[in-house]
Structure 1
């Protein structure tokens, strides 16, 4: 982590201080979840929002914006209490934190940064201290009307093993939690050649995960390998012509190349894609569409080294040791044609619905999306996705779909940015990372699911809600030592709600509620449920601010273990 942490911290400060470095989204129309799949399938192969003249928040790029810039670094000290209501124990801890909140909104630059470093000092034998990084940076900068730079960075904590404990309020002595870092950047180009709109995008991403806490699963459960890091990049190009411009129907062609190289077991994902679509309007509000494409996807890795008994060897961090001389084994491969047909319904400027059904990856594939803006301050969005993913790519795609102007809260329990992030304005309600962060997965997998998000803002009140389901079918080389996930499926359901209310310019209340349900079909795995709620009241006195927070949390792992805990924290912050 000696390289990753300074790099991410440095990026956050650069984004805050230099609007020219801010950048926005990589994928298509922003979706409610992080699967990065548009209505036509794997989002990495489809035209980006920039190809359609949208910016990172779904708004038109040529809309004049009021100039605004804000930079607010701070330091904070707090005292917390965690009470285990199941066992009757309680621990206390002290927090020392430093962070920055920054925002820029101009005609050319849109971006926001919220970053916090926290050091915890535990008091007592059961209290655990340590360092925590949490933050989100999203931005977009228009170099020219046709060329934009886009970037994002994320630091948060999430579950490592889907079978294990599911801490929601991340304080106290926690297990099965890994610190995650992710960053992406790249340009987007939109131009025209006569009646044809041409788009091109490139994204470079990096994701890293620290070793999780121990004691996450039962002793008789076989262990899973730990994800370490991955570099990934994707390049896309597209050409689109509207109906009537060069033909009675709309025409589009897309091509893409994507690669992901993971450090663990020398894993490699590589994909080549090409696709063509036609669109036929049948009324002012309805159009039929059909497309066919060719794709070649291959994921491979090396075996771990084994001992005399055939058990995988692990390093000091608990990760499998790669056998550098062993042959590469194929974990997943597809090579062939895929197709789909669908319908698009746009009865007015506020409503857009599309659905596609076809064959992909050797089976039925259903994708779609819907968006409804009931009023200027009420936005709903949903997406059905289906694609072959890796953890690093899916997290990069989810990060790219988050808004460049988001709701920031005083999160003293370190649970911010590992679920839903709601928009503070614009035509998108925000996005959720639950599909990628349900657990850190080293294997390649097919991700299918549904994500929905809605946001409401009026006066001093902000309301956001997210709901979703995701299913992953995991792939690994047959017969590889220590790998038990091949062909296994896991499912996750999630819901989250946020309410923010400002009582005036210097005080307010934030309330969060969440529920998660995880199902793993690994042998001997139990279903896991977690739910909880937190509330924080803040009051500012000039540059000095105070926060009082409480939380209640419960999780259950089958009949094996459960926990019910309450948390409380008071903190004082000085803003420079």
Structure 2
């Protein structure tokens, strides 16, 4: 079975989770046929016309012990004149959480989406047609979580397996005067965590927790491996009914290793037919990044109500200062806000796995005839009703998809997402900033990222209104900024890439048959090239079974 079919099967399987008594469950398969046109508005560019045939399913279940949702879509694009590069497109998101016993929960998720590949290259908002620098991504995770009590002690543990696959862009990105980078292939990761402790107030006015973790990832490019382990202790002390302080310390070791690329007679790296480096089998595993030593941090927790929690911490990790925190605010049953400040040593596969795991199991699925969902912000379908998990507002994956890096990196930044659903109207906005410091083996053939810093910022918003029981209007807009330090393209030195766009969709239903019309305008500006503008329009019909 191909990777695409395997992912589709896993998404569909999540819809079949057994439900408990009085479940809220729906399964809505559909077929769709539409006519689309994509026009390059720059310098009298090409106009691409094609027919789009799609099949998909929207399904979900919500019970006392099971929460799951899946939205999956496969498109086949049939060009009229010019060949369409991405003729087979998979787009979908599936998330599930099932409480098997009071102590055991199983979590799983899967994603298929298209996103930008090289941070230095084109930033197209229109992802249909023969656009450059767009790659198809597949990812999934699964694993159990255990939480139980033994006497005075709370005991917990979890395991997560993650898998990510990235296809090479159909149309490579042109980066004037810059060397090509290699392409991410696959990664497999394992994360195991365990903790034991006494909570606040059980035997003393303070709480104590001992915890540890081990993480391993094996990536296909240059046989890269990530191995990280830590053990630490934490103490939490309430200062009042709403405020507590916490502090912790421990020991951590992380090592990222990779082999050299094979070189040709000129000393340059050898690439395979997809543009990926060919690994030198005789090369030793070299250190790309290593840290080993004491870690510590302290912070404050403010929880004035079960619907509002703020955490802020600072400390020492990765050989320097670190800052992190979060805000989860369920403002009402219809509105929620989530903010996360993060700092960690990451790889693309691991960061995507963790980002998927942080998304809510009930998410908004707006009409998306061009299959552009799930590569940015995912908004919660029940924003203010999931306050206990902190995931009701949703989450943004823009920091993960800043670029598809084959190297490891230190990721620091902030993401914020607001989600509101009131009556017939839903809207949301997400914004954030991300900084990556890339790691690689110095002075090796083809390695150009060592010590480089990449940056990005984004804002994304949507508005949706049910005009009647049968008709709806949806609109969205976005803007992105990217700055790469590769080969001298430092932030502020003229190497900035900008992307922006807006689209709207009107839909109307006639029983099981639905119709839709969509239009959008997009643009991006890339160093060394003229500003690119494009537009797309679509008319289609959808039949729900």
Distance in structure 1 (CA, Å) of the matches to 2:223 and 2:2: 20
Aligned with 2:211: secondary structure?
A: strand
Deviates more, 1:208-217 or 1:104-113: 208-217
Measure the CA separation in 1 of the matches of 2:140 and 2:338: 25
Q: 1:70 aligns with which of 26, 34, 48?
A: 26
Matches within 5 A, 1:221-232: 221-232=178-189
Q: Would you say 1:501 and 2:465 are equivalent positions?
A: yes
Structure 1 position 414, deviation (Å): 1.9
Provide, for residues 365-388 of structure 1, a one-character-per-residue CA deviation record: whole Å limited to 9, x for no partner. 000111222212111110110001
Shift of 1:409: 1.6
- From the superposition, tell whether residues 508 and 209 of structure 1 become closer, same or farther in structure 2 (CA, over 3 Å): same
Q: Secondary structure at the match of 2:261?
A: coil
Partner of 1:160: 117
Q: Distance in 1 between matches of 2:508 and 2:468?
A: 10
Structure 2 residue 266 is the aligned partner of structure 1 residue 309: yes
How far does residue 524 in structure 1 lie from its aligned partner after superposition?
A: 4.4
Select the residue among 66, 72, 77 that pairs with 1:109.
Answer: 66
Contact 1:122 1:128 in 2 (8 A): no
Distance 1:367 1:391 in 2: 20
Q: Which residue of 1 aligns with 2:474?
A: 510
Pairwise CA distance, 1:18: 3.2
RMSD: 1.5
Map 1:246-285 → 2, pairs under 5 A:
246-285=203-242
Out of 553, 559, 562, the residue aligned to residue 522 of structure 2 is 553
Find the counterpart in structure 2 of residue 24 from structure 1. none
SS at the partner of 2:451? coil
Of 281-290 and 180-189, the range deviating more from structure 2 = 281-290
Conservation of the 8 A alpha-carbon contact between 2:85 and 2:170:
no
Using the alignment, how far apart are the partners of 1:264 and 1:382 within structure 2? Answer: 33
Cα deviation, residue 558, structure 1: 2.7
Residue 8 of structure 2: aligned partner: 9
- Looking at structure 2, the residues matched to 234 and 514 of structure 1 have their Cα atoms a distance apart, in angstroms, of 34
* Partner in structure 2 of residue 458 of structure 1: 422
> Counterpart of 2:497?
528
The answer to whether the Cα contact below 8 Å between 1:340 and 1:359 also exists between their aligned partners in 2 is yes
Q: Mapping of 1:366-445 within 5 angstroms?
A: 366-425=323-382, 426-427=385-386, 428-445=392-409
Q: What per-residue deviation string (whole Å, max 9, x for no partner) do you get for residues 516-555 of structure 1? A: 0001011243210101011111111111111110111010
8 A Cα contact 1:122 1:129, kept in partner: no
- For 1:440, what is the secondary structure of its paired residue? coil
- Taking structure 2 as the reference length, the TM-score comes to 0.95
Q: Residue 319 in 1 paired to residue 276 in 2?
A: yes
3-state SS of 2:121 partner:
coil
Partner of 1:174: 131
Map residues 56-205 of structure 1 onto 2, 5 A cutoff.
67-89=23-45, 90-125=47-82, 127-205=84-162
Say which SS state the counterpart of residue 143 (structure 1) adopts. Answer: strand
Larger relative contact order (CA 8 Å, sep ≥ 6): 1
**SS where residue 4 of structure 2 aligns?**
helix
Structure 1 stretches of 5 or more lacking a match? 21-63
Residue 127 of structure 1 and its aligned partner are, at CA, apart by 4.8
Residue 349 (1) aligns with residue 306 (2): yes
Match of 2:531 in 1: 562
The answer to which of 297-306 and 538-547 deviates more is 538-547
The alpha carbon displacement at 1:235 in A equals: 0.5
SS in 1 for 2:15: helix
CA distance in structure 2 between the partners assigned to 1:357 and 1:17 by the alignment: 44
* Aligned residue-pair number: 532
Q: Is the 8 A contact 2:458 2:480 kept in 1?
A: yes
Distance 1:292 1:337 in 2: 7
CA contact (8 A) 1:277 1:292 kept: yes
SS of aligned partner of 1:124: coil
Instruction: Give the structure 1 partner of residue 287 of structure 2.
Output: 330
Q: From the superposition, tell whether residues 14 and 127 of structure 1 become closer, same or farther in structure 2 (CA, over 3 Å).
A: closer
Structure 1 residue 163: Cα displacement: 0.1
Structure 2 runs not aligned, ≥5 long: 387-391, 490-494
Write the distance in 2 (CA, Å) between the matches of 1:409 and 1:320: 39
Alpha-carbon distance between aligned partners in 1 of 2:208 and 2:368, rounded to the nearest angstrom: 47
Give, in angstroms, the shift of residue 440 of structure 1.
0.5
Displacement of 1:220 in angstroms is 2.3
